[in-house]
Amino acid sequence: PKQRKLKEGAKGQRIKLPWGKHSMTGRQAWFVDDGGEPLVDQLGIVDRIIPIEKQAVIQFVEGRASSSERLPVQPLTPSPSVLAVVQGCPIASHMVEKAKQTNYLTHQERLFLLNVFAPMGEDGKKFIHHVISHTFNYNFHTTEKFVRRSYDKPISCLRIREHFPSLTAQLGCHCQFRLAKGMYPTPVLHSPRFRTAKQSERKDDATILAEMGATKEEMTKEQIRSDRFKHVNELVNKMIQLRKHQRGIQSKLRSIEEELRQLFTELGIERLEIDQGYLVWKREGNSDRWVIEL
């Protein structure tokens, strides 16, 4: 479970155990074959599990296993529209690279790919297969079952930030789009096919997004969140710079105080008249304080 805390009375993310029942639907979970059908011998699949060394898993994930252990991936040149989305959206680019480098994507990350690229048509759907085929548990039929579902509306930038708060904060998720009436921010708008439709052609490409039914309330909420996100980033950048200066100042202060301690110790004094008044060395337990008395 990914939650760190829950509201009173709320239930957190569950962990589905083998042969368990879904907490919402009550449906039984089974081990299935490559076609998605429940295996007849459910216990047999467990008996055939062979433990492997941790180091072997690490080598596989890092790409250091032999080529015979790697899954074959068919080459694919993404269409210009798909490529524009990958290059324009840092989150999409991260997911694609993660699949290639680690051979692993979580279920939520796969859903991200489906909700971004499936609404882009056949080119997007082929690209989904290509990316997920890098993962070690890729199954064409299972992936195709998800791909062929109705994905008419691409996921919004707002939803992406809600699903991946840490990742979007780390990589930056604040792309700015020129929106026509009824449209909402989504990575798909990085594609020229969706972004640069002429006014007279609105019924072709532009309305693909305009007819997605984004309400004024949703768009206002998205804009507010976008503004807040930008402001948070600005404040964090300022905070980082100030903390850098703070560390430098504190280091110089410690150096000056140490030199003062040495001088006062050599002189055998705890009080000295200076231009500004009297400098007093006050020792309190294991800590020192330097006070200027006027």
Co-location of 180 and 208 in the same domain: yes
Question: Among 42-51, 199-208, 229-238, which range has the highest average pLDDT?
Answer: 42-51
Q: For residue 198, is pLDDT > 60?
A: no
Co-location of 52 and 120 in the same domain: yes
Q: What is the pLDDT, as a whole number, of residue 187? A: 92
Out of 85-99, 170-184, 188-202, pick the least confident: 188-202
Co-location of 178 and 127 in the same domain: yes
d(CA 142, CA 146): 7
Residue 77's pLDDT band, with cuts at 50, 70 and 90, is: confident
Classify residue 175: in a domain, yes or no: yes
Classify residue 275: in a domain, yes or no: yes
Classify residue 13: in a domain, yes or no: no
Mean pLDDT of 64-77: 61
More confident residue, 244 or 130: 130
Q: For residue 202, is pLDDT > 50?
A: no
Q: For residue 28, is pLDDT > 90?
A: no
Region of residue 172 (left: phi > 0; alpha: psi -120 to 50; beta: else): left
d(CA 294, CA 276): 7
- Each as own residue / partner, the long-range contacts of residues 127-133 (CB below 8 Å, 24 or more positions apart, any chain) are 127/76, 127/78, 127/79, 127/82, 130/73, 130/74, 130/76, 130/78, 131/95, 131/96, 131/99, 131/100, 132/99, 132/105, 133/71, 133/73, 133/74
> What is the number of domains present in the chain?
2
Residue 206's pLDDT band, with cuts at 50, 70 and 90, is: very low
Co-location of 183 and 266 in the same domain: no
Classify residue 191: in a domain, yes or no: yes
Co-location of 267 and 151 in the same domain: no
Q: For residue 195, is pLDDT > 80?
A: no
Classify residue 133: in a domain, yes or no: yes
Q: What is the pLDDT, as a whole number, of residue 221? A: 63
Region of residue 108 (left: phi > 0; alpha: psi -120 to 50; beta: else): alpha
CA distances (Å), origin 189, targets 146, 170, 218 = 23, 22, 17
Co-location of 150 and 270 in the same domain: no
Q: For residue 114, is pLDDT > 90?
A: yes
More confident residue, 89 or 214: 89
CA atoms within 13 A on the CB side of 139: 11
Three-class SS state of 283: strand
Q: What is the pLDDT, as a whole number, of residue 71? A: 53
Regarding pTM above 0.75, the answer is: no
Classify residue 65: in a domain, yes or no: yes
More confident residue, 126 or 72: 126
Q: Do the Cβ atoms of 174 and 229 come closer than 8 Å? A: yes
Classify residue 3: in a domain, yes or no: no
Co-location of 278 and 154 in the same domain: no
Co-location of 184 and 289 in the same domain: no
| Residue 241 lies in domain | 234-293
More confident residue, 156 or 14: 156
Out of 26-30, 31-35, 62-66, 286-290, pick the least confident: 62-66
| 84-103 tens-digit pLDDT | 999 999 999 999 999 988 88
Co-location of 166 and 251 in the same domain: no
Classify residue 11: in a domain, yes or no: no
Q: For residue 8, is pLDDT > 80?
A: yes
Question: The tokens 């930038």 sit on which residue?
Answer: 157
The percent of residues above 90 in pLDDT, for the chain, comes to 15
CA 161, 167, 170, 171 torsion: positive or negative? Answer: negative
Co-location of 112 and 193 in the same domain: yes
279 forms beta bridges with 272, 292
- pLDDT mean across residues, the chain: 79
More confident residue, 174 or 151: 174
Mean pLDDT of 150-178: 84
| 120-155 tens-digit pLDDT | 889 999 999 999 998 888 888 888 988 888 677 889
Which of 214, 242, 274 finishes a domain? 214
Co-location of 210 and 84 in the same domain: yes
Q: For residue 210, is pLDDT > 50?
A: no
Q: What is the pLDDT, as a whole number, of residue 208? A: 45
Contacts of 248 (CB under 8 A, 6+ apart): none
Which of 214, 242, 263 finishes a domain? 214
Co-location of 157 and 281 in the same domain: no
